[in-house]
Structures are given as C-alpha cells and as structure tokens.
Amino acid sequence: MKLIDADLLIESIQATLNMGRESFPACLFCEVIDEQPTVFDTDRIVEQLKENAFMVATSKEFYSNPQNGEHVEEVIKLEEAIKIAEGGGTG
C-alpha cells in the first residue's frame, strides 16, 4: 500500500481534465476519493507517542541537581513507536 495526498490527487484530476470540482466526470472522482477511509491519522499517532513516552535522564548532571529539569528528555521505546506507526493511529 502507498499513502497519497488525496487533496493533491483531486487537484491533479481537476487540472488534467481541466474542470472545476462541480464538473462532470471530475466531480465523481473527487467524491470517491473523499469517501475513502483514512489509513494514517497523524494526530492520533502523535497522541499515542506522547501517551507512551516516559522521562529519562540524559546526562550525569541530572543526578547532581534533579530539580532543575535540565538533562531530562521524553523518550519512547523503539519497538513501541514502530507498533504505533504500523497501526497508523487508526486503531
């Protein structure tokens, strides 16, 4: 499967047929494209990554002064990130 930008595809169809969205038959193509389900939800992917992230110290300096919040990063396990990405954020 290959992900595409549906809006750019619609524009390309309209340009190729030299018609507006209301024109026939371009309108039928546009409606069919718009009705297709989303296979990759970027917002949901980001949400899931944030939900699964955890804080880790990234330097020895953190241990000498942990209250300052420096030298700490949010990370996620690679395996978990891959699982989330493969799910497309749609689940």
pLDDT at position 27: 67
pLDDT at position 12: 81
**pLDDT, mean of each 10-residue run, the chain (91 residues):** 77 72 62 78 90 85 71 89 84 57
pLDDT at position 47: 93
pLDDT at position 48: 93
Distances (CA, A) of 7 to 10, 21, 23, 24, 53: 5, 12, 17, 18, 32
Tell me how far apart the alpha carbons of residues 27 and 90 are, in angstroms, rounded to a whole number.
Answer: 27
pLDDT at position 13: 79
Name the pTM for this structure: 0.56
